[in-house]
């Protein structure tokens, strides 16, 4: 049984690859913003212990949760707005002038 041959024959759609790369970049950007924001908010710049104390740990948990909740809310609002925009385009005849 050869594993090598089965993967080399699959076709990867370049458009799907570009979309996957964009999603990865967006996720990494979000991750970096969460890390920077929550670290600056919850962990003092000068610390003497190698581990987080209870307060820092709870602060980071809450910060990450709130950041995620806001991102989810923004995503939902953007989806609703996109759906409304698509509905407006559809109800106006698709943007094609009727005089043609």
What kind of architecture, by CATH, is found in domain 13-44+53-81?
A: Orthogonal Bundle (1.10)
**Burial letters for 53-80: b for 16+ Cβ neighbours within 10 Å, e otherwise?**
eeebeebbeebeeeeeeeeeeeeeeeee
pLDDT value of position 9: 57
Ranges of each domain in the chain: 13-44+53-81
pLDDT value of position 6: 53
Give the pTM.
0.62
pLDDT value of position 34: 94
Ranges of beta strands (E only) in the chain are none
pLDDT in tens, the chain (100 residues): 555 555 555 777 888 889 999 999 999 999 999 999 999 999 998 888 889 999 999 999 999 999 999 999 999 999 999 888 887 776 655 555 544 4
């Amino acid at each position: 049984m050869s594993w090598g041959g089965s993967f080399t024959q699959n076709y990867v759609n370049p458009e799907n690859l570009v979309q996957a790369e964009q999603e990865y970049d967006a996720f990494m950007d979000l991750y970096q913003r969460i890390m920077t924001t929550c670290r600056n908010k919850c962990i003092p710049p000068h610390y003497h212990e190698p581990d987080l104390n209870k307060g820092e740990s709870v602060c980071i948990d809450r910060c990450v949760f709130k950041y995620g909740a806001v991102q989810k809310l923004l995503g939902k609002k953007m989806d609703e707005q996109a759906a409304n925009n698509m509905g407006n385009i559809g109800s106006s005849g698709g943007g094609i002038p009727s005089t043609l």
